[in-house]
């Protein structure tokens, strides 16, 4: 049986390759996994290698599992006995056999991220370092980076000796390594680094694996970091010259530079393995020619690439829709409206649609809009916005300030950030509260009467004093300014800023987005007190829970929301790429270099090539960022797409688009809302399926204004209108405030009155 009969010409050429190194440049949707699995099956079927003489390395357990399943369908063999796995799992196998050569016992344990943090915290404490200045997660990230470069603690200390803080981190690294050794433990980075060290320092062991593995295959080679690259090279380069290394990857999809991936590994493969054969897979089986033309047009602006041009036999498909909106609220509204239209008119399942964004923080406005439209959704690679820990923590502070009887919120934030108020102290306060029939916060006023240490008493009293001051501020500050004060005064902001990792920066972005949500609420509604804002959030959360209960009955049909990084390897019929503005996508700062821009462009290339049939690109002219309005220009990447790829027949004004959607929505739900006008429907905040109006909906504010009018803004005080643009509900004003500078607001949302 010819296992390769279903492959195209280039795929077959790669799978049939006999001996010697080979680099397969596999563009998006060109069938790289198909080539890898068929090559392994072909090597076994033709007798070129026994199953145990093949080493195949992937990046994720999911990819390894899929590869095993596919090979199992092609050949009759116990696939579990083959060396097919992730870099980490392959290295564990090698270390279990010979790690004693490095001074470890073979029954070593593997510490996960939580174990690492605990051990690093112990090191910080043992070295008498300030836990507020030395964040365990940030130090863990630095240690991981150094290990992937094979830099020892001593080398790190030497390189940073003149920097007091970094030298201390080096001391933590050194002590951490000693403690790992005492525990006979390895962390995840050790698994690869120690394997490389074992092979580099023990020629007999290296020779054993050179003889064992006749063929080595590596998936997603563009994502390898320094130590992974060294592992492939040391296993693949043999003294006898039989360097049968087969790597598959796409330099145009190298998007993990921020976590150590080095694009030069794939670009320089032919330098590392001389006489390597290069095969390019360019026939795409996923997307329409329009989408591929757009992707090709963008990525050709990069210099760090081998060069290829994706094409397809799939000629049908729609032109790309470019959607310009006034702000992120309008953007989210339009995305929901267009999704509803695709679902209703084109019979596209929600599960075949995805919304992509550059950062997780962008999901907030999109989630709120989807909930209002009753469109089921799920977040991939993260929690729904209002379920994220840092958001729930800040909300808990706000709820306790609003209602001092809220014991749940008290328990959540009493020691967040850490205030040396331990579980025993909290339990004592709780017991006193139950005896005296008061809330835990009220019980805290009697802390001196309880059996607690003086340190615990002082910590609780400081917490109470801080909360009392915030209660006073609540009544004299605008909503957004007050929430920002809570964020700073509680120490929460300082705690997040200490964690200078990708995860830590993401949490900061989420809080910034929460501040923007408060600012938006403040400008949009007349009734914008803390109580109103918390009720607004609770309403959104209730709708979310109702959607989840409904989804439990039909879990298969929901829209997917995810970052572009999380979308790699996935595909959808219809894709919305949102937030396409400069400084949002691409995220580029003044001190960034061309390499950063090229990685951002590769990220956009990945986003575009997730779409099979329909692609929407959206951007906003004004966006709330960190609680402030910023005028935005559209992303340079849009201008790099050939103009013939765009559909110019869509409605030209945002108002037209909104009205068209509302008319369609009202028509489709005639029995429920056919008596509502456009503005009535908008003001009532209608959810798909109907919403009982048990509570008064927030009232939108809109007055007739002219250039030169003096106005009073609830939060910013007196100002003068210097410019007006737009019409009706979409009218914007540029206002020069006496004490707040120049601001741009939507008149239909802003809480302003003419003087």
Residues labelled as active-site residues: 32-33, 219-220, 253, 610
Is residue 16 within 8 Å of 87, Cβ to Cβ? Answer: no
For residues 579 and 602, give the distance between their C-alpha atoms in angstroms, rounded to a whole number: 16
Extended strands (E) in 238-301 = 245-249, 277-281
Question: Which token pair is 644?
Answer: 């013939």
Q: Which residue has the tokens 């267009």?
A: 338
3-class secondary structure per residue, 304-357: CCCCCCCECCCCCCCCEEEEEECCHHHHHHHHHHHHHHHHHHCCCCHHHEEEEE
| Pairing mode of beta strands 245-249, 215-218 | parallel
Contacts 24+ apart (CB under 8 A), 14-18: 14/39, 14/279, 14/281, 15/39, 15/42, 16/42, 17/246, 17/277, 17/279, 18/48
| Three-class secondary structure of residue 608 per DSSP | helix
CA angle 381, 386, 390 (to 5 degrees): 80
Angle in degrees, CA 547, 550, 553, rounded to 5: 150
Distant-in-sequence, close-in-space partners of 253: CB < 8 Å, separation ≥ 6: 28, 222, 568, 602, 605, 606
- Bridge partners of 629, per DSSP, are 624
Alpha carbons 482 and 493: distance in angstroms, whole number: 14
Do the bridges between strand 245-249 and strand 83-86 make them parallel or antiparallel, or are there none, so unpaired?
A: unpaired
Counting other chains too, the contacts that 665-674 makes at CB distance below 8 Å and 24 or more residues apart are 665/337, 665/340, 668/344
Pairing of strands 717-725, 732-737: antiparallel
Q: Which two tokens stand for residue 597?
A: 């821009």
């Amino acid at each position: 049986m010819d296992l390769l009969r279903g492959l195209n010409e280039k795929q077959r050429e790669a799978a049939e390759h006999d001996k010697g190194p080979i680099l397969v440049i596999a563009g998006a949707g060109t069938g790289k996994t198909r080539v890898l699995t068929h090559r392994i099956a072909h090597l076994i079927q033709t007798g070129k290698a026994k199953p145990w003489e093949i080493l195949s390395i992937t990046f994720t357990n999911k990819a390894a599992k899929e590869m095993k399943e596919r090979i199992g369908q092609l050949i009759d063999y116990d696939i579990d006995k083959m060396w097919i796995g992730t870099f980490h799992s392959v290295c564990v196998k090698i270390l279990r056999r010979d790690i004693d050569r490095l001074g470890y016992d073979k029954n070593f344990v593997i510490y996960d991220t939580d174990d690492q943090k605990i051990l690093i915290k112990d090191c910080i404490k043992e070295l008498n370092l300030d836990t507020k200045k030395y964040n365990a997660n940030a130090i863990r990230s630095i240690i991981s980076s150094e290990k992937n470069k094979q830099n020892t603690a001593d080398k790190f200390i030497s390189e940073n000796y003149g920097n007091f803080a970094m030298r201390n981190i080096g001391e933590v690294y050194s002590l951490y390594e000693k403690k790992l050794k005492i525990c006979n433990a390895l962390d995840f980075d050790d698994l690869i680094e120690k394997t490389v060290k074992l092979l580099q320092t023990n020629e007999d062991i290296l020779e054993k694996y050179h003889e064992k593995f006749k063929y080595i295959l590596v998936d997603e080679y563009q994502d390898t970091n320094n130590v992974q690259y060294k592992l492939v090279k040391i296993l693949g380069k043999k003294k006898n010259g039989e360097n049968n290394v087969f790597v598959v990857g796409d330099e145009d999809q190298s998007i993990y530079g921020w976590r150590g991936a080095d694009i030069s590994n794939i670009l320089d493969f032919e330098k590392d393995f001389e006489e390597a054969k290069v095969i390019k897979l360019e026939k795409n089986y996923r997307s329409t020619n329009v989408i591929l033309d757009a992707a090709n047009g963008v990525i050709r602006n990069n210099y760090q690439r081998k060069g290829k041009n994706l094409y397809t036999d799939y000629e049908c498909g729609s032109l790309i829709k470019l959607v310009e909106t006034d702000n992120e609220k309008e953007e989210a509204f339009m995305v929901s409206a267009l999704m509803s239209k695709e679902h209703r008119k084109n019979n596209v399942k929600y599960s075949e649609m995805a919304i992509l964004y550059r950062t997780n923080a962008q999901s907030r406005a999109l989630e709120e809009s989807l909930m209002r439209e009753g469109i089921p959704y799920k977040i991939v690679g993260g929690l729904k916005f209002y379920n994220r820990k840092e958001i729930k923590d800040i909300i808990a502070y706000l709820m306790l300030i609003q209602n001092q009887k809220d014991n749940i919120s008290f328990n959540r934030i009493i020691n967040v950030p850490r205030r040396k108020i331990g579980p025993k102290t909290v339990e004592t306060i709780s017991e006193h509260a139950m005896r005296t029939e008061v809330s835990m916060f009220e019980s805290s006023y009697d802390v001196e009467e309880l059996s607690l240490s003086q340190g615990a008493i002082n910590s609780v009293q400081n917490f109470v004093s801080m909360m009392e001051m915030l209660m006073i501020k609540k009544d004299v500050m605008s909503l957004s300014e007050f929430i920002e004060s809570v964020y700073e005064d509680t120490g929460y902001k300082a705690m997040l800023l200490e964690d200078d990792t990708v995860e830590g920066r993401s949490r900061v972005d989420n809080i910034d987005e929460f501040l923007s949500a408060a600012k938006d609420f403040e400008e949009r509604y007349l009734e914008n007190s803390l109580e109103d804002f918390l009720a607004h959030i609770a309403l959104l959360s209730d709708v979310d829970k109702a959607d989840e209960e409904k989804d439990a009955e039909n879990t298969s049909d929901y829209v997917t929301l995810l970052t572009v990084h999380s979308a790699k390897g996935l595909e959808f019929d219809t894709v919305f790429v949102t937030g396409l503005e400069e400084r949002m996508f691409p995220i580029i700062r003044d001190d960034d270099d061309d390499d950063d821009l090229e990685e951002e462009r590769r990220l956009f290339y990945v986003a575009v090539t997730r779409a099979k049939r329909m692609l929407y690109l959206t951007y906003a002219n004004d966006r709330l960022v960190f609680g402030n309005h910023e005028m935005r220009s559209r992303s340079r990447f849009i201008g790099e797409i050939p103009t013939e790829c765009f559909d110019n027949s869509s409605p030209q004004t945002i108002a037209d688009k909104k009205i068209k959607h509302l008319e369609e929505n009202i028509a489709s739900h005639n029995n429920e809302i056919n008596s509502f006008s456009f503005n009535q429907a908008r003001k009532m905040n209608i959810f798909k399926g109907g919403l009982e109006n048990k509570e008064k909906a927030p009232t939108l504010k809109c007055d007739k204004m002219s250039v030169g009018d003096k106005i009073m803004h609830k939060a910013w005080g007196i100002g003068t209108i210097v410019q007006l643009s737009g019409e009706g509900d979409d009218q914007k004003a540029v206002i020069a405030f006496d004490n707040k500078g120049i601001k741009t607001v939507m008149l239909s949302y802003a809480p302003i009155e003419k003087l």
